[in-house]
Amino acid sequence: MTIAADVTKANVEQGVDLWLRMYRKMWMIRLFEEQVNELYTRALMPGLAHLYVGEEAVAVGICEALRPNDYITSTHRGHGHCVAKGASPDRMFAELLGKAAGYCRGKGGSMHIADPATGNLGANAIVGGSAGIATGAAFSSKKLGTEQVTVCFFGEGALGQGVLYEVMNLAALWKLPVIYACENNLYTEYTHFSETTAGDVLERGRAFGLPSESVDGQDVRAVYATAKRLVDRARKGEGPAFLVCDTYRYTGHHVGDIAREYYRSREEEQKWKTERDPIKNLETWLLAQKLGDAAAFARVQNELRAEMKAAVEFAIAAPYPGPEEVDQDVYA
Ligand SMILES: Cc1ncc(C[n+]2csc(CCOP(=O)(O)OP(=O)(O)O)c2C)c(N)n1
């Protein structure tokens, strides 16, 4: 199914709030990440962070297909998932800076943000590490009859982790409401995925009988339409699915990965940024449909820039947790 076939005039009219919301959410993620990079370069943030810039359409398209009480599990590159599912930037920045107002009282940092209130069961520093959590959540929803769906986000690097196939097997046997969403941004750290991944990736889901599809991860409308179909199907009790989103990270593997030419060219990066940018793609379409104009787009960006700036200021001014709670909320 192509989204173009799906977008009749009536659908556009009904969907206008949805498209504009997705536009705004993608900008929110991009500007959030811009601030994270700034915090890193100003040496205000302890440790590193893995930015989601370039991949915004994946998190936003998929999370828009979910209900607020549906679950997601995330990765080391998790800020985009977190924002798309509804987390608040001020508490996210506070977490990155180790402040008590953060989602994990400052004890988790970038790779451990969890927000149960928005159904976010957590980022995960272990590649493939959230596959079991997502499948367990789907198992519990099925047993409790809550009609919740879980989306398990992971990078293509996790295709090399055995746990993924163990849980796909169980999810298929038990018809669990879970979507395995692979974000293929082409690189596993500094190695092109073709050097680590044999065969046709979709066959890995098909081996377990999962409906397995790929989608242009730079086209938020296509991601949304595909995710919605698979999520609705899972919600009806028709079982799990495997969705591969083809995408690209614009920046380094982490904020410190600046000199990248030994593993990918500047030309390649430039091509993705200029020809396949998910925000520009949606903007062009919104303009063509007369659903927005340059002034409205500028307004959205200005509002969000101000919001992000205020959120960072909140986090910088926020207090650290006291020494008396060093052993609280920490599990081994
Ligand atoms: C089990 C495990 N092995 C190795 C690492 C080190 N590591 C961190 S990120 C990463 C690459 C992940 O690539 P991918 O899953 O494609 O996600 P991306 O970074 O491209 O979003 C690796 C190997 C890890 N965190 N966990």
- Ligand 1: centre distance to CA 188 (Å): 6
pLDDT of residue 97: 98
Tell me the Ramachandran region of residue 306: left when phi exceeds 0, alpha when psi lies from -120 to 50, beta otherwise. Answer: alpha
From the list 43, 137, 40, 132, the residue with the least C-alpha distance to 79 is 40
* Ligand 1 midpoint to CA 111 (Å): 12
Sequence-distant (≥ 6) Cβ neighbours of residue 98 within 8 angstroms: 46, 106, 107, 109, 320
Interstrand relation of 241-246 and 212-216 (parallel, antiparallel or unpaired): parallel
> Which pLDDT does position 146 carry in this prediction?
98
* Cβ within 8 Å of residue 59, ≥6 positions away: 29, 52, 80, 81, 83, 84, 153
Q: Are 223 and 245 in contact (CB under 8 A)?
A: yes
CB of 189 shorter than 6 A to ligand 1: yes
The pLDDT of residue 13 is: 54
pLDDT of residue 3: 39
Indicate if ligand 1 lies below 6 Å from the C-beta of 48.
Answer: no
Q: Which two tokens stand for residue 120?
A: 């976010």
Strands 178-184 and 187-188: unpaired
- Of 281, 245, 26, the residue nearest 18 (C-alpha): 26
Cα 99 to the center of its chain, rounded Å: 23
Digits of tens for pLDDT over the chain (332 positions)? 333 434 455 555 557 799 999 999 999 999 999 999 999 999 999 999 999 999 999 999 999 999 999 999 999 999 999 999 999 999 999 999 999 999 999 999 999 999 999 999 999 999 999 999 999 999 999 999 999 999 999 999 999 999 999 999 999 999 999 999 999 999 999 999 999 999 999 999 999 999 999 999 999 999 999 999 999 999 999 999 999 999 999 999 999 999 999 999 999 999 999 999 999 999 999 999 999 899 999 999 999 999 999 999 999 999 999 999 999 988 87
Residue 126 CB less than 6 A away from ligand 1 = yes
Instruction: Dump the DSSP string for 19-85.
Output: HHHHHHHHHHHHHHHHHHHHHHHTT-SSS-----TT-HHHHHHHHTTS-TT-EEE--SS-HHHHHHT
The secondary structure of residue 258, as a DSSP letter, is -
153 phi, psi to nearest 5 deg: -85, 140
Dihedral class, residue 310 (left if φ above 0, else alpha if ψ from -120 to 50, else beta): alpha
Indicate whether residue 158 lines ligand 1 (CB < 6 A). Answer: yes
Residue 329 pLDDT: 84
Q: How far is the CA of 11 from the centre of ligand 1 (A)?
A: 39
Q: Write out the DSSP string of 227-247.
A: HHHHHHHHHTT---EEEEEE-
CB 124 within 8 A of CB 75: yes
How much is the pLDDT for 331? 80
